Structure 1
């Protein structure tokens, strides 16, 4: 069974039993960015440290960097976003995933929020 964690930068991480983590942005984030028009994806095989820029998403309003929530190696990217970045707007928690990674240090996941903590953080951030 997978577990979902959240960052203060409005990213979600679905932690799978095999140690692979899927990363995307939350519904809250996509709704504030507006219609997405471009996604710059990371390269498969890229080894990135926590805090490194992993991807860039551009909307009609602004561009926003997706930073690595934890250290790891990119194992897969959502190639469909190159032609259809709106998938993030339409289904941010499923079809709109951005990349998958193998985490270098699983203890880094402990500093992330669970769903109730994330919901409390965004409450009032309309």
Structure 2
């Protein structure tokens, strides 16, 4: 008997219920989306709507307790509109938010666990078990 025997086709797989994101994830996702907007219409002269969206995202980050992320997002608003300051502020904020987003995603998966590291000695043959 094979464990890969075909099914009878009578039952469809049950749909997977998608969980709503938590407040931290929602705030980080919105801030990332808000920062992406000006990249499409120009970093040096973002529209008033884009600036409002970034300000609201910073407020939501602060409200959820992500004060450092909020400060970095607000720096984007106050950065001088020159060739280096605005993109550098935006990059700092995006990197901070992307790392936070990854950490939140991993935290939300209970099946992900940290595996212990095994130290390999240089004099040990490749593939040997210790």
Please say whether Structure 1 and Structure 2 have the same fold, judged by a TM-score greater than 0.5: no
Larger Rg: 2
In proportion to residue count, which structure has more helix?
2
TM-score range, shorter chain: under 0.3
In proportion to residue count, which structure has more strand?
1
Bigger relative contact order (CA 8 A; separation at least 6): 1
